[in-house]
Amino acid sequence: MYAAPARFCVKDGSPLVEVGDDAAGATDGGDADPTAEETHRYATLAGKILDERYQVDRRMGEGGMSYVYRGRDVETGQVVALKILLPRLSRDPSAVERLRREAAIAERLNHPNVCPILRLGETSDRMLYLVMPFLEGEPLSEREGAQGPFSLAEGIPILVQVCHGLQHAHDLGIVHRDLKPENIMLVPDTTQPNETRAVVMDFGLAKQRRAGPELAKLTQTGIVLGTPEFMSPEQIRGKPLDGRSDVFALGVLAFELFTGQLPFSGKSAQDTMIARLRGGPRSLRQIREDLPSKLEAVIQRCLVVDVAGRYQSMAELGYAFGAVTGGGVLGRIFGR
């Protein structure tokens, strides 16, 4: 049990959800928890036809809310990624309805640096799934783990492309809210030989502009997620969010990209959150003195506690990142 005003688990930083008598008795008269048979079925779809339309190839991975498969749309022949949402996500009608609304918004995304949702489907037996373009590449997190901190020449173009993609999303009113290296895919750029294209993933699942009763409910289902290490101060406090929360998260990501470390330190996840609420990130150049002071200034401005002190748009931040290494990146990425 955690006493108020605690909002996150001190062990792993997971959001805390208030549990009362209603929640404790939720299974009384309602749907039962997913059975082992259901879970096994969701995990073993390879070789089957999903919803009479998608040939499921092989399982690519799994997470806290879904299994991900490679598949093919038998109507169009397109190779797709199928994200099969865990059975517990279908237990709450309001959560399903919100997922439908957000998927409809994410279907409007049309940009080379974002991955749209092509379709949200539901089978006759209530299996929810998302269809997305299948991207051949590797997550930024895997590249970081394999090679360590990035050079300036390699890291800046990736950050500028992420800014460009997020600006497109923000222009549509979509706030990502869970930006992290695992949600950025690096794929070969077919228009630029030997170049890498950064693609921001998982739009539609992470959007949440306003805090309110829905937040706790959706957190229970696993739809509204925020990775503690990358959360903005206002996100930790449960305040309304806008694109400047993504600016903060990208600042954290950039710091880690170039140093292999996080800008806020603490003995626990809760300690690092408190550090973010009070400001005072670590110095980038104390960890890597070869990096330019201009880059440190850009990242420091992203990490300001007061949203008014940050870059006010991803376009503005993209120009700032590009200016660290000169105009070449700006011209290529922003069409100048």
Number of domains in the chain: 2
Would you state the pLDDT for residue 213?
A: 39
Residue 140: which pLDDT band, with cuts at 50, 70 and 90?
very high
- Would 255 be classed as within a structural domain? yes
* Residue 194 and residue 128 share a domain: no
**Residue 27 pLDDT greater than 50, yes or no:** no
* Residue 181 and residue 104 share a domain: no
**Residue 105 pLDDT greater than 70, yes or no:** yes
Cα angle vertex 333, ends 230, 290, to 5°? 60
Pairing verdict, β 196-200 and 119-122 = unpaired
Domain boundary among 79, 98, 133: 133
Catalytic-role residue among 57, 171, 178, 189: 178
- 269-318 pLDDT, tens per residue? 777 778 888 878 999 999 999 999 999 999 999 999 999 999 999 999 99
Crossing angle of the two packed helices 213-221 and 93-106, in degrees rounded to 10:
90
**Residue 255 pLDDT greater than 90, yes or no:** yes
Other beta carbons within 10 angstroms of residue 126's beta carbon come to 13
Helices (H) and strands (E) in the chain, counts: 13, 9
Residues paired with 83 in a beta bridge: 68, 130
Active site residue 178: yes
- Would 29 be classed as within a structural domain? no
Range of the domain at 121: 44-133
- Would 25 be classed as within a structural domain? no
* Residue 265 and residue 146 share a domain: yes
* Residue 79 and residue 176 share a domain: no
- Average pLDDT rounded to a whole number, residues 117-144: 90
* Residue 59 and residue 83 share a domain: yes
38 against 224, higher pLDDT: 38
* Residue 152 and residue 98 share a domain: no
**Residue 184 pLDDT greater than 50, yes or no:** yes
Domain boundary among 81, 109, 133: 133
CATH number of residue 320's parent domain? 1.10.510.10
Q: Is the pTM of this model over 0.75?
A: yes
* Residue 161 and residue 118 share a domain: no
Average pLDDT, the chain: 80
* Residue 297 and residue 262 share a domain: yes
* Residue 161 and residue 142 share a domain: yes
Peptide bond into 292 cis (omega under 30): no
* Residue 293 and residue 214 share a domain: yes
CATH number of residue 94's parent domain? 3.30.200.20
